[in-house]
Structure 1
Amino acid sequence: MNITKENIDELNSVITVSIEKNDYEENAEKVLRDYRKKVNLDGFRAGKVPMGMVRKMYGKSVLVEEINKLISEALSGFISENQLNVLGEPLPNKDQKPVDFDHQSDFEFKFDVGIAPDFEIKLTKRDKIPFYQIQIEDKMIDNYVENYTKRFGKVETTDKIEENSLVKGSVQQIDKEGNIVKNGLSHDDVMFSMERLQQVKIKKAFTNKKIGDTVDFDVKKAFENDTEIAAFLKLKKEEVAEINPNFRFTVNEMSNYIDAEINQELFDKVFGEGKIKSVEEFRNAIKDDIAKTLVRESEFKFFLDAKEKLVNKTNLELPEEFLKRWLSSTKEGSELTEEKMKDEFPLFLEDLKWQLIKSKVITENELNVTEEEVLSLSKEVALQQFAQYGLSNVPDEQLEGYAREMLKKDDDRKRLYEKKLEDKVVEYIKENVKVDEKEISSEEFSKLFSAK
């Protein structure tokens, strides 16, 4: 077997794999002998089918399989031994001559390969990247306080229906004269929120009603759409169009959701018992939490700007035509329309350039991630997940247990490892450029993303 490489240009090469009969003959014969032992054919005992018949039945498929194995091993070994930094996977050359497995004994296969460019990363303090420090405004703290009072509020029954009440009761279908429809639609346990009633007149009819009171109303005028009506009357959505919409509602129960008071009980629920003693401390603790969230947002924006800076600065050239062919050959790429490919290919190129830059930074600076660092990041992620459910006071033992369980999942471990490694690349960039700190409002910061 002979393997050669022809450089078309700096980014494209053709690898030729030449295979002779003696490269595959022995293995192919061994496979056929194994087939002979197992094949069942009428008129012959097991293992006694003539080899000629076995070769006729399976020879071509075995030949193709053995040659494909040789090609795969040859390409992989050649790329590794010659330290070729290939992009994607080798593709059959567009000028590959047809192969006749029935009559040929020697074969030649040509493969196109895309080569990653050689480049240097030169960063100096003249390279400036902004780092946005987002101002913490009182309205942010107010929003957090309001969210906590709602999250830890409670439902209380009332003696009359109010503007935001949840109302439970029974309904009976009525005719235009207000008479109960015989065998009409009725339910003893329905409910709705006053906030969902659309028509002001109907909302006023329910307001201040008490247990036992009744209200006649048109459900199609009361609720916004057929989905809500179906849920209220316990019907299928498609059944709503055919019903008589007039009903009598009898009030059985009403309740209101009451926001929690801003007191010691709320402080303890949010941050743990006894940790916060006053409204001022409560707001300061919330401010600290906001600051941590905003730092993550600032770091993410810095990452995007650093990525854009290095991609533009290195200005890498890639074998675009080869990459389009390769991307189209993948399962994901084959499902893309021509228009979609046109839209997404530039994004693919930008991401590939960043991957090459990132890999070079990691290799040249011998960056690595320890088990302790992955566990620490896993705990951070776990804490953020708990915080989404209002649990900001999670014991360390429980947090670490949750983090370790997360790391038992291969996909999660890989994702966290790669995130930590990328964080180290960003830290390297920070240390080698001028970080231009800028104070900015949250509104202005949001506009930075919408401007892209």
Structure 2
Amino acid sequence: MNVNHVNTDALNAVLTVKVDKNDYESKVENALKDVRKKASIRGFRPGKAPASLINKMYRKSAVVDEVNKLISENISTYISEQKLNILGEPMPSEKQESIDWDTQNDFEFAFDLAFAPEFEVKLSKRDKVPYYSIKVSNEIRQSYIDSICGRYGSYEASEQAEGESLLKATLTELNADESPKDGGVSVEDGMVSVMLVADEAEKAKFIGTKVGDVMVVDVTKAFPNETDRAALLKVDKANLETIEPLFQATITEVKQYVKAQVNQELFDKLFGEGNVTNEQEFHQKIDEDIKQNLKGDSERKFFVDLRDKLIEKFNIELPKEFLVRWLVAVNEGKFTHEQVEKDYPSFEKDLKWQLIRDKIASEQEFKIEEQELVNIAKGYIANQMMQYGMGQLPEEFIEKYANDLLTKKEERRKLAEQLIDNKVVTWLKEAMKLEEKEVDFEKFKEMMQA
């Protein structure tokens, strides 16, 4: 068996694999013996069919299988031994001559290879990248304060119901003629959020009501969601179909949500008792929180600018024709050649960054420790849980979920890549000059959307 390659240019090569009969014959014979043992052929007991019949029926497929195995194994070995830094995977050459499996004993196969381009990473403080910090404006600060006051507000007694009021009512099931239903459902202290009433006509009945007001409501229209309706009426959802839609509602309590006031009570809730004692200190704390929250946006913008700067500086060339063919092939009919061509610029940019990142990581000998993976997985889990309003999960639960996540091969790979990204970006911040610039939020949004 013979494997070799010839470069057609700096980024492409043709790899040739020659397979002689001696390379595969013994493997084919063994394969046919296994087939004979297991084959169930009409007229013969299992394992007793003549070898000549087995050979006639299965030899061709056995040769195809064994030759393909040999090709795959030997190409992998050759690429490894020759230390070929390839992109994608070897692709059957478009100039491959046809194979006659019925008559040929010796075969020659051609594969196209694409090489990762050679380039040097030379950087200094003369290489500049902008780093944008977002200026905390009065408008941004006030929006944060409004949000905080909204979160720390409370329901207080109100004289009259409004669109966002919370009501308590005694609910009594009625017949179709609005008379009380014998043995019907009766609910004390039924909770009604006016904002969540689905039907506008039913919602209008609640708005403007006061304690002691009595009205008839259609609970089916007001609360079409069966889970919500069952909770209001304090019955099993399966029993809803036996309940009449009309109910008499007697208002027993009206509450309105009132935002928290900016005062010492709020300061203590947010920052601990006595740590903030006036509005100036409060604004300073809020500004610190805003800057921390906006730092992620600054980092994302910096990464985009950094990536584009390095891609432009190193001017890496890629074998586009090969990569388009490979992308079409590996996606197995999911995308046409035209669709891949359209999306290729984005893929090319990602691949160029990956090559730059991996070269820096290799030269700087960056390693990933298991504990680093656990920590980044824990951070990912904590953020996910916070989005679902579960920000106070015990540490042991977060660690368990993180370890479970790391058992999934694809998720582990993504987290490892994120770690390498972080290490490389941190190194680049030291190797290059960051031009720090402060911009207002609107200008920053325009830059991110450009």
Q: Distance in 2 between matches of 1:412 and 1:449?
A: 28
Matches within 5 A, 1:160-175: 160-166=160-166
Alignment CA distance shift 1:58-1:395 (3 Å): closer
CA gap of 1:103–1:353, structure 2 versus 1, over 3 A, is same
Task: Verify: 1:69 aligned to 2:69, yes or no.
Answer: yes
2:433 counterpart of 1:434: yes
Amino acid of the structure 2 residue aligned with 1:214 = M
Inter-CA distance 79–388: structure 2 relative to 1 (3 Å threshold): same
**Which residue in 1 is equivalent to 2:303?**
303
Q: What's 1:353 paired with?
A: 352
Counterpart of 2:37, as a letter, is K
- 25-34 or 359-368, which moves further after superposition? 359-368
> In the superposition, relative to structure 1, how do residues 268 and 54 fare at CA in structure 2: closer, same or farther (>3 Å)?
farther
Work out the CA distance in 2 between the residues paired with 1:382 and 1:136: 29
Q: Are the aligned partners of 1:28 and 1:62 in contact in 2 as well (CA < 8 Å)?
A: yes
Whole-angstrom distance in 2 between the partners of 1:216 and 1:45:
80
Letter in 1 for 2:165: S
* Structure 1 spans left out of the alignment, 5+ residues: 182-186, 235-246
CA contact under 8 A between 1:362 and 1:425: conserved in structure 2? yes
Cα shift readout 1:95-122 (whole Å, capped 9, x = no counterpart): 2111111111111111111122111122
1:256-335 map, 5 Å: 256-260=256-260, 276=275, 278=277, 284-331=284-331, 334-335=333-334
TM-score, normalised to structure 2, is 0.79
Contact 1:206 1:215 (8 Å CA) reproduced: no
- Count of matched residue pairs: 427
Contact 2:161 2:206 in 1 (8 A): no
CA distance in 2, matches of 1:24, 1:279: 85
| CA distance 1:56–1:173, shift in 2 (3 Å) | farther
Identity %: 39
Alignment check: 8 A CA contact 1:378 1:416 kept: yes
Query: How far apart, CA to CA, are the structure 1 residues paired with 2:155 and 2:203?
Result: 24
Do 1:211 and 1:252's aligned partners in 2 also have CA atoms closer than 8 Å? Answer: yes
Deviation string 1:46-76 (CA, Å, 9 cap, x unpaired) is: 3221111112222122111101101101211
Gaps of 5+ in 2: 180-184, 230-245
Contact 1:39 1:46 in 2 (8 A): yes
Cα deviations by residue, 1:330-365 (Å, 9 ceiling, x for unpaired): 12x632245533331110111111111111111122
Report the secondary structure of 1:353's partner residue: helix
- The answer as to 2:106 corresponding to 1:112 is no
Structure 1 counterpart of 2:355, which letter?
L
1:352-394 CA-to-partner distances (Å, cap 9, x unmatched) read 1111111111112212222343344344444544554667777
Q: Secondary structure at the match of 1:369?
A: coil
Match of 1:370 in 2: 369
2:419 aligned partner: 420
Whether the 8 Å CA contact 2:84–2:115 is kept in 1: the answer is yes
Paired AA for residue 208 in structure 1? T
What's 2:34 paired with? Answer: 34
Residue by residue over 1:270-303, the C-alpha shift from the partner in whole angstroms, topping out at 9 and shown as x without a partner, is 56x6595646566554443333222222122111
Alignment match, 1:214: 215
> Residue 435 of structure 1: SS of its match in structure 2?
strand
Report the AA paired with residue 10 of structure 2: E
Distance 1:268 1:54 in 2: 86
| Length-normalised TM-score, structure 1 | 0.79
CA displacement at 1:421 relative to structure 2:
1.0
**Which stretch has the larger CA shift, 107-116 or 22-31?**
107-116
